[in-house]
Amino acid sequence: MPKQTKLRIKKSGAGVEIMVLVTHPMEAGSEKNGETGQVIPADYIEKMTFALNGAVVAEARMSPGVAQDPLTVIALRQAAAGDRVAVSWRDTRGEGGTTEKVIH
């Protein structure tokens, strides 16, 4: 399954709400393949970073207990129209993704 990152920005009161959906299996490394009986290797997002105009404003540390295809939401009060929001993540296999949008 290809890992994708989707970013949505929604105005909320004096700031914005940043919603990130990552298509990711989030395997804990403790389950077995039903056909082969082999343990499915761990593959989960460890860290997600949020930046506003190039400056990191929040980080989310994740664990194997987070569900498949996690949706992560943060609120930014200091964000305004024209600002650029970037989100990046890295998993236990060293894979990752980055996406960004300008606030309208």
pLDDT reported for residue 10: 95
**Amino acid residing at 45:** I
pLDDT reported for residue 13: 84
- All domains of the chain in start order, with CATH: 5-27+42-102 (2.60.40.10)
Place of tokens 């761990």: 42
Report the alpha-carbon distance of residue 6 to residue 45 in Å, rounded: 15
pLDDT tens series, the chain, 104 aa: 678 999 999 998 888 999 999 999 999 999 999 999 999 999 999 999 999 999 999 999 999 999 999 999 999 998 999 999 999 999 999 999 999 999 99
